[in-house]
Amino acid sequence: MWENLLKAYLARAIRKGRLTVTFADGTTESYGTGVDGPEVAVKINDPALARKMISDIELGFSEAYMDGRLEIENEDIYGIVVLAMLNLRSEGAHRGTVHKLVAGSRKLLRRMAQFNPVGKAQENVAHHYDLSGELYDLFLDEDRQYSCGYWPRLDMTLEEAQEAKKQHIAGKLLLKPGMRVLDIGCGWGGMALTLAKDYGVQVVGVTLSKEQHGIAVKRAKDAGLEGQVEFRLQDYRHVEETFDRIVSVGMFEHVGVPHYREYFRHVKKLLAPDGVALIHTIGRSDPPGTTAAFITKYIFPGGYVPALSEASAAIEKERLVTTDVEVWRLHYAETLKHWYDRFMENVDKAEALYDAQFVRMWRLYLIACEMTFRMNDQVVFQFQLARDQEAVPLTRDYLYTPDRPDVLKAPLEETGRSDSAPVRAAE
């Protein structure tokens, strides 16, 4: 029965491209027109999988691929992800009653899933960021920037794009030597160390990851910046001092909707009257939604990508002045492309660290995220905030003065992944 329901669902849902499925009983069927999308073939090895996929097609597929119950011909993960985004997430997907019930239940339960008090927040962070440091060395840049790079030119290296990101953020912070800066969610310390070294500021960085904290402390010592940079294993909600500047990169995604006002309340409390804050976060350009079950369960428990309306509402209610909002579109797609390529160059090392199942999970995570930025209206928001509307200049001209790096002046060519046939088929 479940297999017949799955076949009926696929016949309704797959309109673009073509999906060929070999079922557990050996029969093969194809779905879709074969045009306007990639052609992908999969093999189902477990007869019980149909029931799981009917209840949640995305989670069911992801788990089955991870543990080998479903095989993708030629390991064409790009192709299957593009095919899914073209069909299953479109208005024409004609989802059935079960899928609507699953989506509805996620919306009802999302506040519970994103409830991140201090103790739970640390558990959620440990799930992802306390993985072996060797894993992140396999695909991140030398400074371990685990957030979106800035790509004024697509021929830049990953290191150049991450450096451009840090300098762009520093420009928005309007730093002066001797200022005190708080870095909320400081990661492995790259941003804090750059601001201290290049701009002569004093930085306090806070993180909930023991792995990240240990590395950040060592990096500060090795760089001779111990007297200028302090890294704390501390929740930002426990910080008491006041700072001239606050920066937070790639942390707001872990806050959770129920805590948005609490987050911005603390930003305001910790910011000096004439201070400036820069909040850099992944966002969605469509209305509020939910986090994919695969991401919640296996990658970022408690995480959520905010809509502009959700973040802005919390900022307004806490009486912070939004002095600038910048939207980066395909910058994260380019970053993820580079991460994936580097990961695949070191895939044998990754499997030695963990196992083949982990490698399949990580490949799916990186590709799905890249294509979400390319195809599903996911972006990056940079909020520049202040308590006083006169804390920053009236125009953005200060960001593009002659003494700024030339790399910040070239326009971004918004192109797809040039070496991927499935992406070209989707455009």
Query: Which residues are known catalytic residues?
Result: 369
Q: Which residues contact 13 (CB under 8 A, 6 or more apart)?
A: 31, 87, 88, 93, 94, 95
Q: How far is CA 245 from the centre of its chain?
A: 24
- 81 membership: H or E segment, kind and range: helix 77-87
CA distance 264 to 419: 41
Q: Any long-range contacts for 408-412 (C-beta under 8 Å, 24+ apart)?
A: 408/152, 408/164, 408/167, 408/168, 409/152, 410/152, 410/153, 411/152, 412/151, 412/152, 412/153, 412/154, 412/330, 412/331
DSSP letters along 356-419, please?
HHHHHHHHHHHHHHHHHHHHS-EEEEEEEEESSTTSS-SSGGGGG-TTS-GGGTSPP-----TT
CA distance 149 to 128: 20
How many Cβ atoms from other residues are within 10 Å of residue 101's Cβ?
Answer: 12
Using an 8 Å Cβ cutoff, are 190 and 216 in contact? no
What separation, in Å, do the N-terminal and C-terminal C-alpha atoms of the chain show?
37
Q: In the Cβ-directed half-sphere of 425, how many Cα atoms lie within 13 Å?
A: 21
